[in-house]
Structure formats: C-alpha cells, structure tokens
A = this chain, B = another copy of it.
Amino acid sequence: MGSLVSNAVETWKELKKIGEDDPRKIVHSFKVGVALTIVSMFYYFRPLYQGMGQAGMWAILTVVVVFEFTVGGTLSKSINRGFATLVAGALGVAAEYVADLCGKNGEPILLGVLVFLLAAVCTFARFLPSVKKKYDYGVMIFILTFTLVAVSGYRIEEILTLAHQRLATILIGGATCIVISVFVCPVWAGQDLHNLVASNIDKLAAFLQGYGEQFLGGESGKAAAAEEEEEKPFLLLQSVLNSKATEENLANFAWWEPCHGRFGFGHPWMMYLKIATLCRECAYLIQTLNASSSSHSTNPTATDIFRQIRELCRKICMESSQVLRELSTSIRTATFRSPATTETYRDELKSLIESSSFQLRDNVPLLVVAFVLIDIKNCVDKAAAAVDELSIKARFKKGEDTEKSKSIFRMFRRGTVKPFNEDAC
C-alpha cells in the first residue's frame, strides 16, 4: 500500500515536470478532450443526424487515432487516412464487382486471393524507407479498408451508401482534428525543428565557452566555472547526441504543414537535418575533448611554449563558441549572419606546435586537446557553410538586421548575453 502511494506520488511529480517543461503538452491534452467530446456528442445525438447512423463511430475512431501533438503529425495522418480510405474503397468496390461475376463458388476464392495478394504486397511495401517515412499509416488504412469493403458481402448499392457514410464521418472527424490542431494554440513541427536545431547549436556553444573558461582560461574563469554543477554540461551534450530521431520525425511532419509564420511553401527542411548531423559530429568531438581534459592539468610549472599553446587553444575554443552562437542567432532570427573577423588562431596553433621541440611529460593531453579543438573548428566551419546555405535557400532577411546581429555578437563576445535555454523542445 505504501509503495502504491509513493508510486502515485512519483508519477504525479513526473507528470508535473512534463507539464512545466512544455505546457503545450497540457494544452494538447485539452484539445484532444475537446475534439473527442464534440465528435462523440455528434454521435450521441445521432437521431438528429440520420445520415451518419452506425458509421458515426468512425468519426470517434478517427479523432482518437489521428490527433497528434504537432499540426504536421495530425495533417499527415488525416490526409493519409482520408486518401487511403477513398482509393481502397473504390478498389474494394471494383473487386466486389468482379468477384460477383465469378458466381457463388468463385466469389470467395477470388476475394480471398485478392485480399491475400494486396495485404502481402502492401505489407512488404511498408518496409520501403520512403513509404515508411510518409505513408506508413496510409498503407495500413488502405489494407484495412480494402479488406472490409471487399469481403463485406453487401450488394454494390449498399456499399456505395456505406462508403458515402464512412467517408463523411471520417471527414467530420478529420476536419475537427485539423481545425482544432491548426487554430487552437498550434504546435508546428517546422517551428519546433527550427528551434531545436538552433538550441542544439547553442548548447554546443555554451559547452565550448564553459570548457574554454574552466580548463583553458585564467584563475578567475576557473573559479567561476567551478561553482556550476559538474553533471549539467555533459547532459547538454547527451541531449544533442540523442536528438536525431526527434529531428527526423519533426522534419517528416514539417513536410505536411502549410505555410505558417516565416516558413513558406517548400521550406528547405532537409537542410536542418544536414545542420543537425554536423552538430552531432561536433558533439562527438567535444565529448572526446571532455574525456581528454580529465587527465589534463593546468600545470603551474608549465614551460612558456605550453602556456602559448594553451592560450591559443582557449582562443580557438572561444572563437568556435562565438561562431556557433552567430549560427544559432542567424537561424533563430532568420537573418543572414555577418561573419566575424578573419581567424588565424588555427594556423598559428598548428605552426607553433610543429615548430616546437620539448619534453612531453605532463603535457601530452594538452596537445590532444589542441588537435581535437582544431577538428572541432573544422566541423564548426562546415556547420557555418550549411547554415549559410540554409539562409539562401530559406530566403533569410538581409541588411536591416546586420547591425543588430553584429551588436548581439559583440555582447556574446563580452559574455553579457546568457546562452539560450529551451528544454521545452
């Protein structure tokens, strides 16, 4: 009994956290409740709507199955369901008609063969990545509707009446979901993807800045950084590494969404996935950095050349962090970024290391950090090129915001702007 209560308390806390982290999830639950109540009351008062009859339950089924968290998800399922029902219904009627011509004995055999073939072929088609991504639900409804219509055993006229009812109720259910989903606090998958990618870039920037201050900076930076918890930056990295599936889902759903806000028709959603992949590559490298730094101490008796190397490492670290912040600002505000001054630290570091001769004791980890940082900078540059490509393809704003973003960039450089935090995504 005690464990039951403590379980309930745990679950309640968990639910509260989910609601606090993303209040849109609470709103979504209410939206589903409203949609279902509206449609079921339609069904309940069906004597008023004789046209629906028993088929009214399909409206309820449609609402329960189709209403997703994002507008794109709801649209994708509604359109898949409606279209698949229409096509499969027509095919089912045709199958029934042909089977009817085969006589009393031939009919069940032909129908059985047709159902088997269609189910097998369609099930196999669901393994195609392109089908799985966008039309999986539609193919399932296609198999279902075809089978139901083909083996219903009704006469063609009866089927047409039924099909008419069924389609009408599915349309009512689907339309209710779409209207509520789009007009009541809509959750756009596209907007979410946009924010998620920008905030992931920010997380990398925050991590690199923290790393530069804590492990490569002077004493003041170290003291400030030491006050923060140790676990959190690692969790930030993990969330970047684990967001692949979410991003792909959002990009799939965004494809179904109509123009909204600054996202026009044919917005280059795939570019976000490309940028996200580069972010993950960068996060892998940063994780390696993290592993190396545990053994790397800021040795006070370090030679002069090592102090120079460390200082250059810090500069590359801060510079990468700044470029990443530029990129996220560019995405977030949908403006072209104004690149910072030309960077020479990377080449300087490379030539300094290559021309040096020294005892390695105690300092090898710093060299590893230096080389990983050079790799990180290369990766950041690739991400920058991808964001620039996105700005062109997505027709980001130009000019007017250049001054503003420059000043934001300067504030970032001074560290007066706190990193953006969007756990909600």
Contact = CB atoms under 8 A, between A and B. Distances in A.
Interface of A: 11, 14-15, 18-19, 25-26, 28-30, 32-34, 36-37, 40-41, 43-46, 54, 57, 60-61, 64-65, 108, 111-112, 115-117, 119-121, 123-125, 127-128, 140, 143-144, 147-148, 150-151, 153, 242, 244-245, 281, 284-285, 287-288, 291-292, 353-362, 364-365, 367-368, 371-372, 375
A43 B151 contact: yes
Nearest to A291: B375
Nearest to A40: B151
B353 A360 contact: yes
A371 B117 contact: no
Given A112-B37, A151-B43, A128 B288 contact: no
A268 B405 CA distance: 53
A322 B385 CA distance: 40
Nearest to A11: B128
Contacts of A112: 37, 40-41
B143 A36 contact: yes
Q: Sorted from nearest, which 5 A-B pairs have the closest CB atoms?
A: A33-B120, A29-B124, A33-B116, A29-B123, A33-B119
18 contacts: A15-B125, A18-B127, A25-B127, A28-B123, A32-B120, A33-B117, A37-B116, A40-B151, A41-B108, A60-B148, A64-B119, A64-B144, A64-B147, A285-B288, A288-B375, A355-B361, A357-B359, A364-B371
A362 B111 CA distance: 74
A60 B147 contact: yes
Contact of A116 (B34, B54, B124): B34
Nearest to A121: B29
Nearest to A363: B354
A64 B30 CA distance: 30
A173 to B, nearest CB: 12
A33 to B, nearest CB: 4
B147 A115 contact: no
B32 A140 contact: no
Contacts of A147: 36, 40, 60, 64
A40 B242 CA distance: 43
Contacts of A368: 367-368, 371-372
Contacts of A37: 112, 115-116, 119
A11 B375 CA distance: 39
A372 to B, nearest CB: 7
A36 B358 CA distance: 75
A45 B281 CA distance: 59
A112 B37 CA distance: 6
Contact of A44 (B26, B151, B354): B151
Nearest to A107: B44
Contacts of A281: 287
- A25, A43, A116, A151: most-surrounded residue (chain B CB, <10 A): A151
A108 B44 contact: yes
Nearest to A378: B291
Given A28-B123, A40-B147, A375 B115 contact: no
Given A37-B119, A147-B60, A354 B364 contact: yes
B292 A288 contact: no
Contact of A371 (B32, B121, B292): B292
Nearest to A14: B128
Contacts of A44: 108, 111, 151, 153
A177 to B, nearest CB: 12
A20 to B, nearest CB: 12
Nearest to A54: B54
B371 A362 contact: no
Contacts of A25: 124, 127
A249 to B, nearest CB: 10
Contacts of A151: 40-41, 43-44, 60
